[in-house]
Structure 1
Amino acid sequence: MREILLLGQQGQVAWELQVALATLGRVTVWGSQELDLADPDRIRDRLRALEPQIIVNAAAYTAVDKAEQEPALCQAINATAPGVIAELAREFGALLVHYSTEYVFDGTKTSPYLETDTPNPLGVYGASKLAGEQAIIQAGCAHLILRTTWVYGNRGKNFLLTILRLAAERPELKIVADQVGAPTWSKSIAMATSQILARCGDRDPATISGIYNLSAAGKTSWHGFASEIVDRYRTQFPDRALQVTDIVPIPASDYPTPAQRPAYSVLDNSKVLATFGVQLPDWDLSLGQLFARW
């Protein structure tokens, strides 16, 4: 039975991975209590003691705005730590699965981003995630870097839960309408990761190592996503009152944040489909599935 190490116990994707990876081997889960990713020496000691065959790194510094005030910590967790993990993976022949983000791009394209497009992050968070990708590649281990976008779920901190909380408190919500992306359910990411690993089989890691986009199909704006969340919640739970009566579209310029967001966050997923036969559903279909299982 393969030894799988999952990093990131409480994160949205990590939570779903604990179930999704169970069919592939014996899963050891380490959260921040078990492993401080800002401590490279601790990473080395703990991973060498375990020597897993597969490492799935779903841990990250994800506070995009706070990162502008904590660049060193963000860099340590998102860039330095993945590089150290990758070096260890090469040392004992493990496969590293690592999650990245569309924030490595500046969002100036008007067509879906390919893995080969030139990155140009707009803030500290995106720059740290790009540095993490580069560190993994430079380490030379077998790796799958999975870029995703607009991740949400029914636990943790994410746009969906924020909208439902605000919709229960306020009659009007003002939501950015000129940023476009593909909301991606954390459960879909976890299930796709499991499928990808299952289909790696005995294939030469050198032939499959690389960056892969892994996001939901379709696209919408934050305003469109918020409107769909409220509509589906009301349909699914007609007896649970929401206060909101109006969801107003606004430009991003009316909602300034410490970190600038990409205006266009849609990813082209054709590479992961061609390589592993994996394709995530359309974003609104996944949203419906989430509410059906709530």
Structure 2
Amino acid sequence: MTKRIVILGASGQLGHALQAEAMRLPDTTRRLLCFIPRQALELTDSTALKHCLQHYSPAIIINACAYTNVDEAERQPAMTWLINQQLVAQLSHYAKASGAALLHFSTDYVFNGRQHQPYTETDSPAPLNQYGKSKLAGEQVMLDIAPAGLILRTSWLYSEFGHNFARSIWRKVQQGQPLRVVDDQTGTPTYARDLAALSLKLVTADNFARQFATTQLLHCAGIGQASWYQIAQEILRLSGRQVAISAVASNEWPALATRPAYSALSSTTLKQQYGVSLPPWQQSIADCVQKMGQSE
């Protein structure tokens, strides 16, 4: 394999997970990965982005960039759309023109949560907030331009890196703080390192560009579903500590953005067509808690 792979957004949660999982790859493969942190490239500068891509001339681009602060996206819609839609359009056009393949990530928040069974790729999106709307627009623009590549919709990403729900709960548990956690939203918890490992497996295969010769969209999330409260309960159990925990309704937790009550994803198509899947969420939470414990 001689293809160079550029990863944009290397300083974010998924970017850190991709870097961690890249360390497991053979040296010859790892040397082909070029991680570009956010501070090294102004993503809203289309000229700088084009020059960066031309400099590296990648065979594959992994777009790990996203504006993911769901509440702040309501305050900053212009920036949210710049990162979640316009950047994807620029990358798609570059990939199409250069013959590169593009791996992009989307979200369960493209759905409105009115369903009561895991969403599949054929279910109709109807996002409730700016974050979901901008991510759906990013999907649509990539599908319209149709470079070689893949959109992976994922859900409730967490890890030992950055700011996320699991890490926040872990820290509060370690500090002995009582927990109040929303119990009326259900999704599919997904460990960022699991998603990163699967993504690297796909893009380092010799047939990635041929397999996804025009853009495909697939769901890729942990197996099973849970509420935020159930995830917090599991983290608390694994910690072995005694901390008070109580369930609260969404309307007791002030938030700018409306979130879907149910947004679990079914990743069956990915498993059936390509033979890959992520572990059950309980197994992955245990892996994440172990790593968080080791870093204390």
**3-state SS of 1:33 partner:** helix
Deviation (angstroms), 1:77: 0.7
Q: Is the 8 A contact 1:196 1:276 kept in 2?
A: no
Whole-angstrom distance in 1 between the partners of 2:59 and 2:177: 52
Whole-angstrom distance in 1 between the partners of 2:209 and 2:165: 38
Q: Tell me, yes or no, if structure 1 residue 212 matches structure 2 residue 213.
A: no
Whole-angstrom distance in 1 between the partners of 2:219 and 2:232: 24
The number of aligned residues is: 286
Deviation (angstroms), 1:287: 1.1
Tell me the equivalent position of 2:3: 2
Deviation (angstroms), 1:289: 2.0
Q: Tell me, yes or no, if structure 1 residue 103 matches structure 2 residue 109.
A: yes
Whole-angstrom distance in 2 between the partners of 1:278 and 1:111: 22
Q: Tell me, yes or no, if structure 1 residue 249 matches structure 2 residue 250.
A: no
Q: Tell me, yes or no, if structure 1 residue 66 matches structure 2 residue 72.
A: yes
Whole-angstrom distance in 2 between the partners of 1:249 and 1:224: 9
Name which of 44, 55, 67 aligns with 2:61. Answer: 55
Name which of 182, 206, 230 aligns with 1:176. Answer: 182
Note the residue ranges of structure 2 that are not aligned, 5 or more in a row: none
Normalization by structure 1: what TM-score?
0.91
Provide Cα deviations, 1:178-200, integer angstroms capped at 9, x if missing partner.
Answer: 11112111110011112222456
Whole-angstrom distance in 2 between the partners of 1:292 and 1:11: 21
> What one-letter code is carried by the residue in structure 2 that aligns with 1:101?
T
Q: Tell me, yes or no, if structure 1 residue 278 matches structure 2 residue 276.
A: yes
Q: Is the 8 A contact 2:103 2:151 kept in 1?
A: yes
Name which of 231, 234, 244 aligns with 2:237. Answer: 231
Tell me the equivalent position of 1:129: 135
Q: Is the 8 A contact 2:106 2:139 kept in 1?
A: yes
Change (3 A) 1:175 1:87: same
**What is the identity percentage for the equivalent residue pairs of Structure 1 and Structure 2?**
34
Q: Is the 8 A contact 2:60 2:203 kept in 1?
A: no
Whole-angstrom distance in 2 between the partners of 1:70 and 1:223: 28
Deviation (angstroms), 1:230: 1.3
Q: Tell me, yes or no, if structure 1 residue 160 matches structure 2 residue 166.
A: yes
Q: Is the 8 A contact 2:147 2:213 kept in 1?
A: no
Change (3 A) 1:164 1:204: closer
Tell me the equivalent position of 2:13: 12
Taking the TM superposition and a 5 Å limit, the aligned residue runs for 1:194-209 are 194-199=200-205, 201=207, 204-205=210-211, 209=215
Whole-angstrom distance in 2 between the partners of 1:251 and 1:74: 27
Q: Could you say what the CA RMSD is over the residues aligned between the two structures, in angstroms?
A: 1.8
Tell me the equivalent position of 2:286: 288
Q: Is the 8 A contact 2:63 2:104 kept in 1?
A: yes
Whole-angstrom distance in 2 between the partners of 1:167 and 1:123: 30
Whole-angstrom distance in 1 between the partners of 2:83 and 2:209: 30
Q: Is the 8 A contact 1:79 1:135 kept in 2?
A: yes
Deviation (angstroms), 1:165: 2.5
Q: Is the 8 A contact 1:18 1:27 kept in 2?
A: no
Whole-angstrom distance in 1 between the partners of 2:178 and 2:35: 41
Deviation (angstroms), 1:59: 1.1
Change (3 A) 1:203 1:88: closer
